[in-house]
Amino acid sequence: MSNIHRSKYMLTLDKKHLNRYLHKIVCIDVDPYVIDHKDCSIDVKDYPKIMYGDIYNYLVHEISAFTYEEMKAYKSLEAYKQAACGWVKNVYTKKYYQKVVVLGQVFHSQRLNDKLVNCWIITESNGQILSSHCDCVAGLGESCTHVSAVFFFIDMSLRRFEGHEDTKSVTDVKAYWKAPSKIAGPSKLVDIDFTIPAKLYQSSCVNEDGPLYMRENEQPTIPYVSGDELHRVLRNLRATPRGCVLHLTTKPFSQEIATELKSKQTFKLSFLYRPEYEAETLENLQKIGNELDLSVPIDECRKIEKLTVKQAHSKEWFDYRTGRITASKFKGVCRTDIAKPSISLIKSICYPTLQQFKTLATRYGCNHEKLAYKDYSNDMALLHGNFGGSEVGLCLNPKYPYFGASPDALVECDCCGLGCVEIKCPYCAKDIGLSEIGVLKKVGVKEVGGEAVLDHNHTYFYQMQMQLAVTGLAYCDFVVWSKQGYFKKRLLPDEKFWKIESIKAASFYKTVILPEMLGKYFTNKKVQAVNNDTSADWEIIIENE
């Protein structure tokens, strides 16, 4: 993101908040504050499908980048009042890489004559909120009422226009939003709406042809429904292909998904955390961890791999990596002292979304990875029949549910079968190529008996051995690329190496990672730790595993 056009606001941020800001916009690779409104849409049909559940999950359950705890911004849930009273203005949307960027302006809650604050939101098209920001004083906290008001404005607008599929723009329908006057003048009592914001919000979310809201003393007349009639209705709902969930709240149908829901929660290991566990001793947390069933069925492993195929551009990829030892961390966990584990290593495994940064070298590698793969695949296609490759997400293995690997690609040909490829684009070879003495040595390649081999003590060797063990593939092609050419070495599974080192990693997981995932033992207790290996072994970067 070094070439990103930065807004004046971004230039005012200090290093800490700038890194966080860049992380939030990495999925669209553009600063929302520089987006031209002329290129955006004001059509309500282009709004992301944000619903109250999405708003609640984001404001309450989203993990704060600064406290590492849930935001629990319950006060911001009251921002529906600002949305209902017309304090949100100039809402625009624009799509980037299957993501939706929402831009909006909101009045200050205490200073109506001040300049409107500017908010942006990044979501999935289905309404899942990925990140947000506001240029107000509290905007760096990521849950201010201005951003929340835009959330509720979108929710209100979508429900208000349900059934108006022919709507061409938000200005085509009468009284879409109330644009408050900048100057408050006197009015007759009869012309003043004293409806409380909650009622305004409720009435704004219904079709204009229907009732606005029911008076509090009115009670609807509902005919009695017998048990047999209700069961028949619920049975019919169960038979519908999708969209109906009412029957899932009632026995016996609710029992059908109870086990499934419970098991799905365990696949994302962030669900292991319990606030009450923070008071437990390390020994008790280890005992609790040993009693957990962390197994992941093979069919779920396949689903997770497909769900995370976009890797670092996918929120799910980070979610399922959380709490798992991934391939790039393999050497780090095998070399660190379990009695004094590295806190930075623990954080990179347990809180991957909070431990990301990019250097000039990692940006260079990410920017040239596709070009490197193209050179590699073109050459392989000339020598291997029916050679082809495909993207791959986070790979899990039922035998090692606490490990994870994300090769750069899966490859296959008639002669060699199915394998994977791991690509490195070292910045040190940017201008001099790979023939220069010492370049290949820096990436773990050494000469033994006149043959180039990968050093078994190098991080990359550890990384690829875990990739092979987790995926069960026959080989991994190690590609070191530069603009002047590339080096390729095929790596096969080393069962003896894996047996020894995987035991160390499993021990580290049970002894250190599980207590941290259960009760944040090491980060909350601020346990003193030292690194017994070079920091490069667990450098925290945004790249494949």
pLDDT at 531 over 50: no
Grade residue 298 by pLDDT with cuts at 50, 70 and 90: very high
- The pLDDT of residue 139 is 72
Q: Which residue has the tokens 């999935």?
A: 124
- The pLDDT of residue 326 is 96
- The pLDDT of residue 538 is 39
Question: How many Å apart are CA 86 and CA 178, to the nearest integer?
Answer: 5
Q: Greatest CA span in the chain, whole angstroms?
A: 96
- The pLDDT of residue 100 is 93
Interval 66-90: pLDDT, tens:
777 888 888 888 888 888 877 888 8
- Residues facing residue 422 across a β-bridge: 478
205-211: average pLDDT: 45
144-148: average pLDDT: 89
- The pLDDT of residue 194 is 60
- DSSP annotation of 64 reads P
- Exposed / middle / buried, residue 415 (Cβ in 10 Å: 0-12, 13-18, 19+): exposed
Question: How many Å apart are CA 122 and CA 128, to the nearest integer?
Answer: 9
Question: Residue 446 carries which side chain, given as an amino acid letter?
Answer: K
Question: How many Å apart are CA 255 and CA 42, to the nearest integer?
Answer: 44
pLDDT at 216 over 80: no
pLDDT at 489 over 80: yes
Q: Is 321 helix (H, G, I), strand (E, B) or coil?
A: helix
- Exposed / middle / buried, residue 142 (Cβ in 10 Å: 0-12, 13-18, 19+): buried
pLDDT at 203 over 90: no
- The DSSP string of 250-315 is STTTTHHHHHHHHHHHHHSGGGG--GGGGGS-HHHHHHHHHT------HHHHHHHHHHTTTGGG-H
Element (H, E) at 286: helix 282-290
The proportion of the chain whose per-residue pLDDT surpasses 70, expressed as a percent, equals 77
Grade residue 509 by pLDDT with cuts at 50, 70 and 90: very high
- Residues facing residue 95 across a β-bridge: 100
Mean per-residue pLDDT of the chain? 81
- DSSP annotation of 483 reads T
Interval 234-292: pLDDT, tens:
777 767 766 566 666 666 666 655 555 544 556 889 888 988 999 999 999 999 999 99
Q: Which of 292-296, 330-334, 444-448, 510-514 has the lowest mean pLDDT?
A: 444-448
Grade residue 61 by pLDDT with cuts at 50, 70 and 90: confident
- Exposed / middle / buried, residue 421 (Cβ in 10 Å: 0-12, 13-18, 19+): buried
Q: Of 130, 102, 126, 123, which is closest to residue 42 (Cα–Cα)?
A: 102
Question: How many Å apart are CA 336 and CA 501, to the nearest integer?
Answer: 12
Q: What's the chain's Rg over C-alpha atoms?
A: 27
- The pLDDT of residue 242 is 63
Interval 148-197: pLDDT, tens:
899 989 988 888 776 544 444 444 444 444 445 555 567 776 666 666 56
Question: How many Å apart are CA 423 and CA 514, to the nearest integer?
Answer: 31
The C-alpha torsion from 271 through 275 and 278 to 283, rounded to 10°, is -50
Question: How many Å apart are CA 22 and CA 31, to the nearest integer?
Answer: 8
Q: Bigger pLDDT: 270 or 208?
A: 270
- 8 Å CB contact between 126 and 115: no
Q: Bigger pLDDT: 535 or 311?
A: 311
Tell me, letter by letter, the H, E, C secondary structure of 97-123.
CCEEEEEEEECCCCCCCCCCEEEEEEE
Question: How many Å apart are CA 102 and CA 90, to the nearest integer?
Answer: 10
- The pLDDT of residue 127 is 86
- The pLDDT of residue 211 is 37
Q: Bigger pLDDT: 59 or 498?
A: 498
Token pair belonging to 421? 């490829």
Residues 6+ apart with CB under 8 A from 534: none
Q: Which of 43-57, 76-90, 431-445 has the lowest mean pLDDT?
A: 431-445
Q: Bigger pLDDT: 67 or 403?
A: 403
Q: Which of 26-40, 48-62, 95-109, 250-264 has the lowest mean pLDDT?
A: 250-264
- The pLDDT of residue 311 is 87
Length of the chain: 545
Question: How many Å apart are CA 504 and CA 498, to the nearest integer?
Answer: 10
79-108: average pLDDT: 87
- The pLDDT of residue 256 is 57
pLDDT at 422 over 90: yes
- The pLDDT of residue 150 is 92
- The pLDDT of residue 367 is 85
What is the set of domains in the chain, with CATH numbers? Answer: 8-160 (no CATH), 298-537 (3.90.320.10)
Q: Bigger pLDDT: 243 or 332?
A: 332
- The pLDDT of residue 254 is 63
Question: How many Å apart are CA 104 and CA 368, to the nearest integer?
Answer: 35
| Phi and psi based region of residue 229 (left: phi greater than 0; alpha: psi -120 to 50; beta: remaining) | alpha
